Amino acid sequence: MDNVILQTEKTDEHNIKKAGSDKKVVVSGIFWNFVQMVINQAFSFLLKLVLAKLLFPGEFGIVGMATVFTGFVQVLNDLGVGAALVQKKEETLRTEHYHTAFWTGVAWSVFLFLVMSFAVAPLAAMFYNKPILESIVPVLSIGILISPVNLVHKAQLTKQMDFKKLAYIDNVSNIVVGLIALVLAFEGAGVWALVFNSVGNVFFAMPLFYRATRWKPAFIMEKKAFQEIFGFGVYTTGSNILNYLYNNIDYLLIGKLLGASSLGLYTLAFVLTDTFRGRLMAVINNVMYPIYGKKQNDLVSIKKYYLKVVLANCALVFPVMIYFIVEGNRFITHVFGAKWQDTVAPLQILSGGVMLHLLVSGNTSLLRGLGRPGMEMKQQVLKALIFLPTLAFGIYYNGLVGAAWAILFNKLFVVLIAQYGFIYLLPVKISVMDFCKELKAPFIASAASFIIVYLLKLVGVNFIINGICLCIVYFGLIYMLMGSELKELYRGFKTKREQS
């Protein structure tokens, strides 16, 4: 009896230590991903600001047209093998999986590059009636050709949750490429400066990934390893394709129906809102994906982590979107110039859509971590069936503004689909009440800061000072409502650093 009690105590102690270790890993991972995001976003914002002043909406639109096609093929390029390597349990992962994934990716990327250069490039030029796309698309596709070289290295670092190295590689490569793009823009390269900025980072990341992992491919191809990886990856790839079409069909239709200048205006609004949201979500979701995979059978912990992910994303992004809704007009005209005035209304509407989307900000990582990529793909099909007709209707009747309203409507639909899954389809049950309790602090802080900033705008307060006031009010209320939780988070990270 005493032995049983002693063994139970040891098991409990082990579980407590393991839970504490997981928490520290999550905190550390989120910190380094957050560092990566802050540096990238700050630099990317400054880069877009300078390029927007040097270039014109039409030039942004040309690159946007090209990336609709190259981005779609980039989704096909991974084949889902990167996600499969991360999701696969350590005890079942063999060396053959890594080598097979590498050579499969290389062979597939060569095929896709040839398709892009000789088939898709002429098609894109004909579709948009822009001959320059026949030259731009193959250059952008070089990234597709090279990216599989980094695929296994990135999967290894993600599986090890070494987000510090991932942050370093991403920041260094993006900053170097961005600086070169600025030089090209100042030298009059025009649209080619944007092209280089879109494709160049993959080259600079290659040696950094090798240095971080020291992994070298051997010529090993195993049928069993391929079947195991591709069996998971095919659903992930299907979901990624549908997700890409869902997120980029607006670019395709706006470019075709309204032209390059309108697409350039829309691109800026989208970069400042939905792209920012996507980057921040990736920060936390990249950390949580391997955690969900490890805890597939611990539904209580998964629910807790998921709600914390949504809370973190909402708390950080809500104030930015509120600022754009209230001060979008003055911000755009003073920072980017009068030539970007028509981007204001889409910016404000898309900001509201982002706030809705954040309510399901961890859904993709959760479904993949639980090993349910098939369910994710079905959700993407349903979303696409609703999105396409509403988007076409919005663009036809109200141009850019109609497109933005269609996206806002569909973000609401996405939230409803996700909630249906939590109630009826997933083993993890999260009610509307659970969300309301968890998100009480950002909801209250958002409402209060919106009212105060709007009133300050009415009395003529400068838009920069208004932004500072919004941050003070918002984060002051967040600290009042979540102070103890934030202190606990800080102590966890501090302990992690001291033990490192």
Per-residue pLDDT of 68-110, as tens digits, reads 777 766 666 666 666 666 666 666 677 777 778 788 878 888 8
| Alpha carbons 264 and 190: distance in angstroms, whole number | 14
Quick one: pLDDT at residue 108?
A: 80
Quick one: pLDDT at residue 55?
A: 67
Q: Which residue has the higher pLDDT, 325 or 216?
A: 325
pLDDT, mean of residues 113-139: 87
Percent pLDDT > 70 in the chain is 70
| Alpha carbons 105 and 81: distance in angstroms, whole number | 8
**What tokens appear for 362 in the block?**
């961890």
The 3 state secondary structure assigned to 351-371 is HHHHHHHHHHCCHHHHHHHCC
pTM metric for this prediction: 0.66
**What tokens appear for 433 in the block?**
């009440």
447-463: pLDDT as tens digits: 999 999 999 999 989 99
**The pLDDT of residue 292 is above 80:** no
Each domain of the chain, given as residue ranges in start order, spans: 55-258, 259-500
pLDDT, mean of residues 118-142: 86
Give long-range contacts, CB 8 A cutoff, 24+ apart: 186-195: 186/54, 190/55, 190/59, 191/55, 191/59, 191/62, 191/63, 191/132, 191/136, 193/51, 193/54, 193/55, 194/51, 194/55, 194/59, 194/60, 194/63, 195/63, 195/66, 195/136, 195/139, 195/140
**The pLDDT of residue 496 is above 80:** no
Q: What does the chain come to in residues? A: 500
**What tokens appear for 360 in the block?**
């399901």
Integer angstrom CA distances of residue 413 from 252, 347, 420: 21, 20, 11
Quick one: pLDDT at residue 298?
A: 65
Torsion-angle region of 256 (φ positive above 0: left; ψ -120 to 50: alpha; else: beta):
alpha
pLDDT, mean of residues 302-314: 80
187-208: pLDDT as tens digits: 877 778 878 877 787 888 888 8
36-70: pLDDT as tens digits: 556 666 666 666 666 766 666 777 778 778 877 77
473-482: pLDDT as tens digits: 999 999 898 8
| Alpha carbons 321 and 277: distance in angstroms, whole number | 9
Percent pLDDT > 90 in the chain is 14
> Rounded mean pLDDT of the chain?
76
Quick one: pLDDT at residue 4?
A: 40
**The pLDDT of residue 288 is above 70:** no
Quick one: pLDDT at residue 19?
A: 46
The residue among 226, 94, 84 whose CA lies nearest residue 151 is 84
369-425: pLDDT as tens digits: 666 666 767 777 787 788 888 888 998 888 889 999 998 998 898 888 888 877 776
The residue among 173, 163, 119 whose CA lies nearest residue 143 is 173
